[in-house]
Chains A and B, each alone.
Chain A
Amino acid sequence: MATKIQAVRGGRLASLGVVHLSLIASLVMLVLSWAFVLGWERQQSFSFFSTEAAGRAWGFVEDLAGVGRATQPAYADLSEWSRTARLAYDTLAMSVLAIMIAALGALVTFMLGARNVMRGGSLLPLAIFALVRWSWAFTRAVPELVWALLAVFIFSPGIVPGAIALAIHNYGVLSKLAAEVVEGMDMRPIEALRSSGAGRNKTLLYGVLPQVLPRFMTYLLYRWEVVMRTTIVVGFVAAGGLGMEFRLAMSSFHYTTVSLLLMWYLLLVLGVDAASAGLRKLAR
C-alpha cells in the first residue's frame, strides 16, 4: 500500500523549501503570539477564564434576553420591530450600493491590470498597468472600517459613507479577482478572433467578456455576502443602518434592543446568502 500512497503524494507536494521555512516561521509566530496574549492576559485585573468572568458573561446573556426586567424586551415588541425595519432596509440598500459601486470600478479597470493584456507593450500601457495594480493593492489592504472612519469626514451621514467605504475595499478585491480570470483565460477563441481580423474592441467584446463576465458575477455575488456581514460594522462609525443603532443601544445599555438588532442582522445575512446562492445559479 505504501507505494500507492507515495503515488498520490508524489505529484502534488513537490519542492518544499519555501513551504518548510514558512511552516517553521508560522509555528514560531504561533508560540510567540500565544505567549504574548496569555502573558498580557495574566496582567489584567481579572482572568477571562475565571468564575467571576463567567458570572459576568452569564449576566450579559441575561441582559440580552431581558431576564428580570419589568419592561417588555424590545425583541418581543412588534412596534420595536417596525421601528427598526427601516434600519434593516437601509442596511440592505447600503450593501447593494456598495457592491455595485465596487463592481463598476472593477469593470472599468480589470482589463488594465491584467498581466497578459498590458505587459509587453510600450511605456504608457506599462505605466497604466502599474498604477491600476497599485490602486488595487492600496484599496484592498485597508479594511472597510478604516475607510469608513475616513469617509465620515467627507460624506454626509446616512448610507453613503458606509457604502463608499465598503465599495473602496471591495473594488480592490473584485478587480484583482477579475484580472486573475483574464490572466487564466482560454486564449484560443481570442486568437481565432484576432486572426479573422477583429480589432481590439471586438476582441474584447466577443472574446474576453463572454469568458470573464460569468465568473465575475459569481465573485460579485460571493463578495455581496461578505459585504452584508460587514455593513453592520461599517455602520458603527458611518452613522447609517443597523450598525449605528447597535452602537447607540450598546452605549445606553438597551441590551434587549441589541438582541433585536442582532436578529435583524442574522435575518439579513441569511437572506442575502440565500439570494446570492439563487442568483449564482443564473450566472452559471
Chain B
Amino acid sequence: MRSKSADTTKPRRADEPTLFESRRLLTLILVAALMWSLFNVDWRDGVLHTGGISAFREMASALLTPDLSGEVLAKLIGSVWRTLAYAFAGLSLALAVGFPVGLLASGVLRADGAAPIRRIARVILAGLRSVHELVWAWLFVSAVGLSPIAAVLALALPYSGILGRVFAELFQDVPEGSLRALRNAGSSESQVFLYGRMPFVLPDLLSYTFYRLECGIRSATVLSFVGLGGLGFQIQISLADLAYSRAWTFILGLIVMILLVEAWSGAVRKKVIS
C-alpha cells in the first residue's frame, strides 16, 4: 500500500515519535488483515461460478436494455412510493425515540451529568444500533407476521440508536463560550439547553437527519426483502426469474430515486450549515 511510503516521508518531529510509529503500525495491521482475509478465501475451486462469466455478460447486456414496458413501470412507481413511505415513517419514529434518548445520553440536562441515567441511555442506544434493520425485520415478521408496521419498526430501531448517539455528541460538543451568557444570567441547565445548545446544534441536527433520510431510503429498499413489498422485493423476484432486464429497471429506478434524494438533502445541508 502507498500509505507506508507516505508515512515514512512525514517530517519526524522529536516531540511526536509515537504518532509516527502508531500510523506505521496501523498500516502494518491493515496489510496483515488483508493478507489474513485473502488466506481465508477458498481458491481451490475457483473464485468464479461455473457459468459466472456468461451470467455477467448477460447482466451487463441487460443493463443496456432495461424492461420499460408499462406494466413494469407501473410496478416501479408503486414500489418506489412504498419504499419512500417506509423510510419517512421509520425515520420519524426514529427521531421521536432517538432525540429524547440521545438527550439523556448526553447528560447535558443536569449540571452533575446524571451519570447513571447517561450510562443506561448509552447502552440502550448501542444495543439499538448493533443489529441491522433487516435482521430486525425478519425477527418481527417471524414473530408477528407480514405487516407494514414490522418494516417501520425494523427501520426505526437501529436508526434511533444512530440518531441518538450523534445527537448526544452534538449536544455535548457545543462550545462553552456560546453558553456563558446564559450561565451568567443564572439559567438552569435545561434553560441552557433550550436557549443555548438547541439553537446552536439545530442546523447540524437538521443536516444529519437529512443525511440519514438518504440512508433510510436505501435501508427501506433492503427491508422489503423479507416479503414486505417495495423495490427490494421486486428486484429479488425479478432475479429469481432470471429476468435481468426487469431487475435493472428496478435497480436503475432505485439509483435515480437515491440520487434525487441525495441532491435534495445535499442542497438542504449546504443551506443549513453555511
A residues touching B (Cβ–Cβ < 8 Å)? 1, 4-5, 7-9, 12-19, 22, 26, 29-30, 32-34, 36-37, 40-41, 44, 46, 48-49, 53, 56-57, 60-61, 89-90, 93-94, 96-97, 100, 103-104, 107, 137-138, 140-146, 149-150, 152-156, 158-160, 163, 205-206, 209-210, 213-214, 217, 220, 229-230, 232-233, 236, 246, 250, 262, 265-266, 269-270, 273, 279, 281-284
- Most chain B beta-carbon contacts within 10 A, residue among A32, A209, A213: A213
What residues on B are CB-neighbors of A210 within 8 Å? 6-7, 9-10
CB within 8 Å for A44 and B255 given contacts A13-B203, A155-B48: no
CA distance A60 to B143 in the complex (A): 5
CB within 8 Å for A217 and B26 given contacts A19-B268, A145-B225, A232-B135: yes
What residues on B are CB-neighbors of A9 within 8 Å? 199
CA distance A29 to B213 in the complex (A): 12
- In the complex, are the beta carbons of B222 and A97 less than 8 A apart? no
What residues on B are CB-neighbors of A94 within 8 Å? 37
Contact of B36 among A49, A56, A96, A282 (CB under 8 A): A96
B172 within 8 A of A: no
- In the complex, are the beta carbons of B10 and A156 less than 8 A apart? no
Min distance, Cβ B146 to any Cβ of chain A, angstroms: 7
Contact of B132 among A1, A163, A229, A273 (CB under 8 A): A229
- In the complex, are the beta carbons of B274 and A14 less than 8 A apart? yes
B124 within 8 A of A: no
B150 within 8 A of A: yes
Helix, strand, loop or mixed for chain A's interface?
helix
Contact of B195 among A5, A33, A233, A246 (CB under 8 A): A5
- In the complex, are the beta carbons of B268 and A146 less than 8 A apart? no
Contact of A158 among B34, B42, B59, B185 (CB under 8 A): B42
Interface residues of B in 247-266 (CB under 8 A from A): 251, 254-255, 258-259, 262, 264
Contact of B271 among A15, A46, A145, A279 (CB under 8 A): A15
- In the complex, are the beta carbons of B2 and A209 less than 8 A apart? yes
Nearest B residue to A89 by beta-carbon distance?
B40
What residues on A are CB-neighbors of B82 within 8 Å? 36
Nearest B residue to A2 by beta-carbon distance?
B195
| Given A33-B88, A282-B26: 5 more A-B contacts, CB < 8 Å | A8-B199, A107-B1, A141-B259, A233-B222, A284-B19
What residues on B are CB-neighbors of A46 within 8 Å? 145, 147
Nearest B residue to A36 by beta-carbon distance?
B85
B77 within 8 A of A: no
CA distance A44 to B19 in the complex (A): 60
Interface stretch, picked from B49-57, B64-72, B99-107, B109-117, is B49-57
Interface size in chain B (residues, C-beta < 8 A):
95
- In the complex, are the beta carbons of A138 and B255 less than 8 A apart? yes
- In the complex, are the beta carbons of B145 and A233 less than 8 A apart? no
CA distance A90 to B40 in the complex (A): 7
Interface residues of B in 70-111 (CB under 8 A from A): 81-82, 84-89, 92
Min distance, Cβ B83 to any Cβ of chain A, angstroms: 10
CB within 8 Å for A18 and B218 given contacts A156-B52, A205-B9: no
- 4 tightest A-B CB contacts, nearest first: A60-B143, A97-B37, A209-B6, A93-B40
Contact of A53 among B36, B144, B195, B251 (CB under 8 A): B144
- In the complex, are the beta carbons of A56 and B33 less than 8 A apart? no
CA distance A159 to B135 in the complex (A): 19
What residues on B are CB-neighbors of A5 within 8 Å? 195-196, 199
CA distance A97 to B36 in the complex (A): 9
CA distance A155 to B199 in the complex (A): 52
- Most chain B beta-carbon contacts within 10 A, residue among A90, A140, A270: A140
Contact of A32 among B46, B85, B149 (CB under 8 A): B85
Nearest A residue to B133 by beta-carbon distance?
A233
Min distance, Cβ B74 to any Cβ of chain A, angstroms: 17
What residues on B are CB-neighbors of A160 within 8 Å? 41-42, 47
CB within 8 Å for A213 and B7 given contacts A12-B203, A60-B142, A141-B258: yes
What residues on B are CB-neighbors of A273 within 8 Å? 130
Contact of B134 among A140, A159, A233, A283 (CB under 8 A): A233
B200 within 8 A of A: yes
CB within 8 Å for A270 and B134 given contacts A30-B92, A48-B150, A146-B235: no
CA distance A48 to B202 in the complex (A): 35
Nearest A residue to B194 by beta-carbon distance?
A5
Contact of B49 among A48, A156, A232, A250 (CB under 8 A): A156
- In the complex, are the beta carbons of B182 and A1 less than 8 A apart? yes
